[in-house]
Structure 1
Amino acid sequence: MNNTSQNSQTIAEKLADHFKALAYDTLSDASRTAIKRLLLDYLGVAVSGSQTESGKVAGMFAASTGGRAESTLIGGTERVPAMLAAFANAISSHSVELDDIDVLALFHFSPPVYSAALSTAEQKSASGKELLVSLAAGCEMMERLSKAANPSLRDRGYHTTPTCGTFGATIAAAKMLGLSAEQIVSALGLAGAQSCGLMEMYGPSMQKRFNPGPASRNGVTAASIAQLGFTGAATIFEGERGFLAAFTDQSFPEQLTRDLAQPYRLDIEFKPYSCARPIHNAIDCALEIRGKHSPDLDQIEHIGMARHPDWAHYHQNADPATYHEAQVSLPYSVAVALADGQALFAQYNNARLKEPLLKKLASLVSFSVDESLPRGVSCLMTVKMRGGAEYSAQIDYPKGSIQNPMTDEELRAKFDSLVIPVLGVERAAAIADRVATIEHCGNVRELMSLLQRGQGAGAARGGEKIDA
């Protein structure tokens, strides 16, 4: 505890004391399980994402800058400085739109937090138990700040994953590096100096994939330089020109320190479909109608999509030019779900965007606002057929949500589908086994060495995933 009384402490000082005291034995069983499930999911998504255009460019950038071989480029062949591994791996893990999501569909935990924690864990030869604590701390920090800043932060045009993720990555790295409470305060201040990320990212470019990269790298930077004695502002959250004042019109600072003495509940949701999470409800609607009614797609006259006001005006592009755009297009996602019965990365392929049936179905989607829908991501879909028949479905909790979860078997199947094409069957099994017992791992490098191509038995021979 800092020398000042609890009442006179800043928010950063209270958080620093809290996270400094966090230890493996203080984590609840539920948190340990959630963190390990997300670790498996993150690694699978990052391996697959490393083989995309954006993942490859990020890896090339990290490898081209030189420096100490400290941390693994997931899905690559190089080891690079920890900050650059965090940067590139965060981009890879956000490049196939299959990374985790919070319950409000505002941000992704793993790209900034897990990338920062794993890169610093390798740098310090940390144990699996230390890794789990670091991951739990980073995720908690990120979600607390999102709750304090949203929805205003999002509505003002800031992207929650990088803006809040910088702080999550900072706490994850600070725990891994063993910072004192005073150093953690400084690291949080320096995280605020580097927090960034705009929602002006939708379109044909790779920009959305880029956003978690600086957040993860900046978190490692903030913790590392604070460890060396660089000091930061203790009032970074509530100050007159602090994070909440700068990034929001309305904030809830009490969320940052609410119930610090209680075990933190991490609600992490997983994505079965390769697109933006608020679109998943619409995909589930399409799959329900397809499964129940098998509509003749050529006879569909109109597809009405009622959405909650929180997300009603997003994801409306009906004519995506690249797969990057398609992954944030609700009309295309509904079309491919109706046509294929799934919406995996293979469906978001540049070659498919001009298919006449998909273009026609996407053009039939119209949007409306329905304030009566119970959740921000809720969707009510109505399909009108020639001849007068109508089919409807409403989804409030999409597959992968807390209320409609993916099972361990489904998560493993997702992991295998992403990793086997890149690293092979034996390697995928070895990674999954190591994650399952990560708390008994003496050095996280043992896990990370399995994530490189061309290392050890079972690696795929010349069989990289093809770019979309």
Structure 2
Amino acid sequence: MTEPAAVTLARHFSSLTIDRIPARHLEDAKALIADWFGVALAGSRTESGAIVRRFAMETGGSAEAAMVNGGGVRVPAVHAAFANAIASHSVELDDVDILALYHFSPPVVAAALAAAERAGATGAELLAAVVGGCEAMARLSDATNPSLRNRGYHTTPTVGVFGAAVAAGMLFRLNEAAMVSALGLAGAQASGLMEMYGPSMQKRFNPGPAARNGVTAAVMAALGFTGAATILDGERGFCRAFSDGFDPVPLTRGLGEEFPIFIEYKAYSCARPIHNGIDCAIDIRRQMGAAGVDGIRRITVRRHPTWAHYHQIPHPATHHEAQVSLNYSVAVALREGAALLPQYVEEKLRDPAILRLSGMLTVVPDETLPRGVSCHMTVEAADGAFFAAQVDHPKGSIANPMTPAEAAAKAHLLGDPVIGAEGVDRLLAQIRTVGTAPRAAALMALAQGAP
């Protein structure tokens, strides 16, 4: 009889060390950690970041791990993972997979850094754990999506809890049996719904429980609490419960030889499937000239049916809602040629010129577009002229990557107001050599400074 997938995966992850991971994936892990810190530093200054940090401090407990911009205050690792995951998802600039279904770093990196502090782990152990956690997320998403998303589940937390459990379990040096239990206990806590778009902070919350619950699962397994080995592919396991189209093959295909981890990065401060529209808007703005934007008569956006019915919010009520609004994001990009944090502030939501453009956008499903996130945009100008652009691979994608200089500039844009330019430079330098660092906790220590 075929053994449960959780057993096969646990054997792999409990023995995965840095020397067994291809160099390119270790470099990807460093880039992911660097991007996470920039985003988390900016997120720590948001209202949602401040609230969750207050929650962690007021709840209290053992001083095990630090929170980004927490002034050196240490809290239990489960609380640190919770707070840091929410902070890193609070400015809509965190990484994303190639299908724009989920974010790797909020659950995995947040859990890994907290667990590394609790365990006193090395930098090499941290890198391996981040790769392992990302691999777990990727395999589970490949096995259950797009059905999981289409049923209304949010992929980031639902598969992220397993990634967080794997990362924490590797840092706690769990053996195979304990890793099986960690996966089982993670599945018992899997949750997260796509009913998160709107004016509230709901979307920011989702990765928090995933990171916290993953660390909880690994801690409980280390203490001897056992979990179900059939949690993934059992008759009533995660994959069948969360997906109508479960495919077991990706769970273990090429295990130990292939790491199906494909990470992309955000150049704009909003939901990833919107980025193609922003790239189109910026291209059209360049074609027609900034002076012609105010005379635009009509905006038609063709989106692949995969995402055509999402993000249609003509008049967002808060900046939270604006960051998941295709209409607003296209409008502000046409007006200002950018879509970063300064474009998603409350006063912009009342700008008549932006509101006019946002209200006129029409979305048309088009299954001929080559990718789920593809976008084709047509704009009619005041003189009747038409301008068009199509983007299949947005800026920051694997096919259209950000340069190292652009990635560093993003980290500085987000991190400089929190820890200063020199602080960000020191943090980025430490991440580049983290594989040889005796203490992974040095990274979080560098993120506690002040400008």
Q: What is aligned with 1:343?
A: 339
Residue 32 of structure 1 aligns to a residue whose secondary structure is helix
Report whether the alignment pairs 1:191 with 2:186.
yes
Report whether the alignment pairs 1:164 with 2:163.
no
Q: What is aligned with 2:6?
A: 12
Q: CA-to-partner distance for each residue in 1:40-88, whole Å, 9 max, x for gaps?
A: 0000100110000000001000011111111011111111100000000
Residue segments in structure 1 that go unaligned for 5+ positions in a row: 1-6, 454-458, 461-468
CA distance in 1, matches of 2:343, 2:288: 22
CA distance in 2, matches of 1:45, 1:370: 33
Contact 1:28–1:263 (Cα < 8 Å) also in 2: no
Contact 1:27–1:263 (Cα < 8 Å) also in 2: no
CA distance in 2, matches of 1:83, 1:321: 33
Report whether the alignment pairs 1:450 with 2:446.
yes
Q: What is aligned with 1:413?
A: 409
Residue 8 of structure 1 and its aligned partner are, at CA, apart by 2.8
Residue 207 of structure 1 and its aligned partner are, at CA, apart by 0.6
Equivalence map 1:61-460=2 (5 Å): 61-77=55-71, 78-294=73-289, 296-453=292-449, 459-460=450-451
Q: TM-score, normalised by structure 2?
A: 0.98
Contact 1:31–1:265 (Cα < 8 Å) also in 2: no
Amino acid corresponding to residue 303 of structure 1 in structure 2: I
CA distance in 2, matches of 1:265, 1:249: 22
Residue 249 of structure 1 and its aligned partner are, at CA, apart by 1.1
CA distance in 1, matches of 2:347, 2:202: 21
Q: What is aligned with 1:40?
A: 34
CA distance in 1, matches of 2:365, 2:443: 47
Contact 2:285–2:293 (Cα < 8 Å) also in 1: no
- How many residue pairs are counted as aligned between the two chains? 449
Residue 285 of structure 1 aligns to a residue whose secondary structure is helix
Q: CA-to-partner distance for each residue in 1:384-440, whole Å, 9 max, x for gaps?
A: 123320000000000000000011110000001111111112211111110111111
Residue 143 of structure 1 and its aligned partner are, at CA, apart by 0.6
Residue 376 of structure 2 aligns to a residue whose secondary structure is strand
Q: What is aligned with 1:464?
A: none
Residue 265 of structure 1 and its aligned partner are, at CA, apart by 4.0
Q: CA-to-partner distance for each residue in 1:297-352, whole Å, 9 max, x for gaps?
A: 22111000000000000000010000000000001000110111110011100111
Contact 2:416–2:424 (Cα < 8 Å) also in 1: yes
Residue 317 of structure 1 aligns to a residue whose secondary structure is coil
Q: CA-to-partner distance for each residue in 1:169-206, whole Å, 9 max, x for gaps?
A: 00000000000101111111111100000000111110
| 1:25 aligns with one of 19, 26, 33 | 19
Q: CA-to-partner distance for each residue in 1:191-232, whole Å, 9 max, x for gaps?
A: 110000000011111010000000000000001101111111
Contact 1:46–1:93 (Cα < 8 Å) also in 2: yes
Contact 2:139–2:260 (Cα < 8 Å) also in 1: no
CA distance in 2, matches of 1:381, 1:231: 53
Residue 8 of structure 1 aligns to a residue whose secondary structure is coil
CA distance in 1, matches of 2:427, 2:383: 53
CA distance in 1, matches of 2:422, 2:26: 26
Q: TM-score, normalised by structure 1?
A: 0.95
Residue 451 of structure 1 and its aligned partner are, at CA, apart by 1.1
Residue 245 of structure 1 and its aligned partner are, at CA, apart by 1.5
Contact 1:34–1:266 (Cα < 8 Å) also in 2: no
Residue 108 of structure 1 and its aligned partner are, at CA, apart by 0.2
Contact 2:99–2:373 (Cα < 8 Å) also in 1: yes
Amino acid corresponding to residue 133 of structure 1 in structure 2: A
CA distance in 2, matches of 1:272, 1:88: 24
Q: CA-to-partner distance for each residue in 1:145-189, whole Å, 9 max, x for gaps?
A: 001010000000000000000000000000000001011111111
Contact 1:35–1:132 (Cα < 8 Å) also in 2: yes
Residue 428 of structure 1 aligns to a residue whose secondary structure is helix
Residue 261 of structure 1 and its aligned partner are, at CA, apart by 3.3
Amino acid corresponding to residue 439 of structure 1 in structure 2: G
Amino acid corresponding to residue 314 of structure 1 in structure 2: Y
Residue 208 of structure 1 aligns to a residue whose secondary structure is helix
Residue 347 of structure 2 aligns to a residue whose secondary structure is helix
Residue 263 of structure 1 and its aligned partner are, at CA, apart by 3.3
Residue 378 of structure 2 aligns to a residue whose secondary structure is strand
Q: CA-to-partner distance for each residue in 1:342-388, whole Å, 9 max, x for gaps?
A: 10011100111010000001011001010100000000000012332
Residue 275 of structure 1 aligns to a residue whose secondary structure is coil
| 1:51 aligns with one of 25, 45, 55 | 45
CA distance in 2, matches of 1:176, 1:350: 41
Residue 297 of structure 2 aligns to a residue whose secondary structure is strand
| 2:54 aligns with one of 52, 60, 83 | 60
CA distance in 2, matches of 1:430, 1:10: 45
